[in-house]
Chain A
Amino acid sequence: MVLNLAHRGVRGGVIEPHRSMLVLPEARRRLVTSSILALTFLVGVALSLGPLGRFWLLLVERAHESLGFASIVDVREFNLFGVLSFNLPVLGIQAAIPDGRTLLIATAITGAILLVTLALRGRLIPVAYFLRAMVVIQATAIFYFAVWGAHFPYRLPGFFVGLLTSGLLVIGLVPLLLGFTYYIYDVTWTKKIGLTAAILAHLAIFIPLQAMVIAYLIIHLSLVVMPVLFLMFGLVLDVMIFVAFYGWGMSWDGVLGEERRRR
């Protein structure tokens, strides 16, 4: 009560602490409850791997039909620590190794993009840098296929499964990352659970569709685009989706802020 009065102004209003001195109270309790919630979600994700694999198979089969792939969709069984087994869809289709004509076209397009980046000024400079990063990776791919093309060690079916498994890794990391960086905050349990569920649901739908789009592009444009698609539009994109959700969740008001306003 006395402590409460110490933070009252002469007209009864609450004197807020300066932002330089704000801290979160009850560190131990927060860290414990955050860990419990993170572990609960992690176990939930692990137990959902089976249904998730079946859901992804369904999505891939539907997308496979819609995109007109001339192949079959197979499944591959995975085992997690010898305890949990689940299946992931595999595309039974190969993509072509780029021939000389394809490499020439790829070189022309890459060069054109580089020229475009030179024209990007002002507020578009970050876009220019991003495009140049793409150009650099694409240039290495063109060089590789021009010199050692037949030795390229990856084929579409294995790559497709690799995309899905690395996507699963991101999904598995979501509860852990949120546990250490979001659950510790004074937002309500509903918001914590809601944000986690939203991210997991989004990624669960996005990752197989992302893999299908990448596969579609590789089938139509040859293996020469695989490195750039993998490096710049694979895991990086998944993680940025997580960051976007995280930023959204961090913008929500906390319990302490709401309490202060009520006072």
Chain B
Amino acid sequence: MKIVILIPLLIIVGIVLVYTARHYLFTINRLFGRHRQPYVDIGTATWPSVVVFVPAHNEERVIAGVIEALLAVDYPAEQLVIMVVNDRSTDNTKAIVDDYTARFPRQVKAYHRTEGRPGKAAALGEACELAQGEVHLVFDADYLPGRGLIKQLVAPFFDPEVGVVMGRVVPLNVSRSLLTRLLDLERSGGYQVDQQARMNLGLLPQYGGTVGGVRRAALEAVGGWRADSLAEDTDMTYRLKLAGWEVVYQNRSECYEEVPENWPTRIRQIKRWARGHNQALVRYAGPLLRRPVHLRRMVVLDGLLLLGVFAVGPLLLIGWGLALSLYYLGFGLEESIMAILAITAYSTLGNFAAFFEVATAARLDGSRERIRLLPFLVFGFLVSMVSVTTGTIAQIVGAIRGHDHEWEKTERYRGTPAEPAPTRGAG
């Protein structure tokens, strides 16, 4: 009985140790490694035509901000079209967008969607068919791109092998609550260290669905956006990589976004990401394992680890359950302590690699004082672990019952007082 528990526990510990080693390797690489950059800071060029898509569902609080910011960029106006994809909004979004299309008829276009499959992937898929442009960039409605950002994001496409580009996301509403500060730390680690290290090592940076875009030819080559995708960004990353296109990350290209300001919103966001990632895991683990000739083994390994990142939460919980069972079975004090130590090692010391990554990123960012919040990240990890697990279970149950996924929109806060009252419990 004990060995039946011990073996899966050791396998789980082994998997988590691989992720731990990955965090360390990435952080050391980011600190000391040679930086690999795509084309950037090109001042004069024959700029390609660009369509910037702004998917919007009930975004009246923020939509004007992103349109204004995009109208102010330094990209040649005759080569730039802003296309707002108004996806079945029931608030004042349509009126605001229509006002802009009337005032800037050449630069701002609107695609008002009133029916069809809900979700960003489906909306983008329909809008792309109506748009021209050699490069398709995507910005979520709460983003505020800087004046030079479009040129920075388009420049990498001068390399004909590049199919998709990702810039860096930086939270705008950092000082609103403890959660926003913790999310700032997490985002910092994810982009400043994790994405850049994957770029440096020639692995698989991830396109994040916003502050980035795809080459239209590449998009068409892989069949466009998949309407049934729950995470169109992860989906596109893997399809393009498997098809032989380069995915590049540009750490210099920063754009501000709103992060969730309350925990219920954060929990819903994580569950949505987990469902999308799990769907991509099921779809692309097989093709990756069959390894197309153009993919190096390390890229395949990194791709698989990236796909499995949301499976770690449920694995950790299972590991805790197994360790607890071993403890009660009386494995002998020393051995039991070893089992508990092993589980503790990956959930605390193992996670320490994540602390190292986050602290390094915040230090590089110059946010030194914020690093003192490091211990509070444990609460974030705990909430994430439980949310990912419950989201995954709900997804599996839904798949068995044949239920379709219900799209959930992330709440916006601009113009609201800090710490708004939550609308729901922890769930």
A contact set with B: CB distance below 8 Å: 18-24, 27, 30, 118, 120-123, 125-130, 133, 137, 140, 144, 151-154, 158-159, 162, 165-166, 169, 173, 177, 180-181, 184-185, 227, 230-231, 235-236, 239-240, 243-244, 246-248, 250-254
Contacts and interface: CB of A to CB of B under 8 A. Distances in A.
B327 A227 contact: yes
Contacts of B398: none
Contact of A129 (B252, B372, B383): B383
Interface stretch (B45-53, B97-105, B141-149, B336-344): B336-344
Contacts of A144: 328
Nearest to B262: A122
B371 A181 contact: no
Contacts of A162: 333-334, 337
Given A20-B196, A128-B426, A250-B363, A230 B330 contact: no
A34 B51 CA distance: 50
Contacts of A177: 349, 352
B169 to A, nearest CB: 13
B337 A165 contact: yes
Interface string B245-260: 0000001101000000
A16 to B, nearest CB: 9
Interface SS of B by simple majority: helix
B81 to A, nearest CB: 28
A149 to B, nearest CB: 11
A172 to B, nearest CB: 12
A159 B333 contact: yes
Interface residues of B, number: 64
A22 B32 CA distance: 10
Given A122-B419, A251-B372, 9 more contacts: A24-B32, A27-B31, A122-B263, A125-B426, A126-B382, A129-B386, A158-B333, A177-B349, A236-B344
A180 B382 CA distance: 25
Interface string B32-59: 1101000000000000000000000000
B349 A21 contact: no
A236 B348 contact: yes
Contacts of A127: 379
Contact of B31 (A21, A23, A247): A23
A162 to B, nearest CB: 5
B382 A133 contact: yes
Contacts of B262: 122-123
A66 to B, nearest CB: 27
Interface of B: 24, 30-33, 35, 168, 177-179, 192, 196, 251-252, 254, 262-264, 267, 324, 327-334, 336-337, 340-341, 344, 347-349, 352, 355-356, 359, 362-366, 368-375, 378-380, 382-383, 386, 419, 421-422, 425-426
Contact of A140 (B178, B324, B373): B324
A250 B367 CA distance: 10
Contacts of A18: 252
Nearest to A21: B35
Contacts, number: 152
A252 B375 contact: no
Nearest to A130: B382
A20 B251 contact: yes
27 contacts: A19-B364, A20-B254, A23-B32, A24-B31, A24-B32, A27-B32, A121-B422, A122-B262, A123-B179, A125-B425, A126-B263, A129-B383, A130-B382, A133-B382, A140-B324, A153-B329, A165-B337, A166-B341, A177-B349, A227-B328, A243-B378, A246-B355, A246-B374, A247-B359, A250-B359, A251-B371, A253-B368
A103 B360 CA distance: 47
Pick the most buried of A18, A125, A151, A153: most chain B CB atoms within 10 A of its CB. Answer: A125
A225 to B, nearest CB: 14
Q: Which 3 A/B pairs are nearest by Cβ-Cβ distance? A: A153-B330, A247-B374, A126-B379
Contacts of B352: 177, 181, 239, 243
Contacts of B349: 173, 177, 239
Contacts of A248: 372
Contact of B368 (A125, A126, A235, A250): A250
A231 B421 CA distance: 33
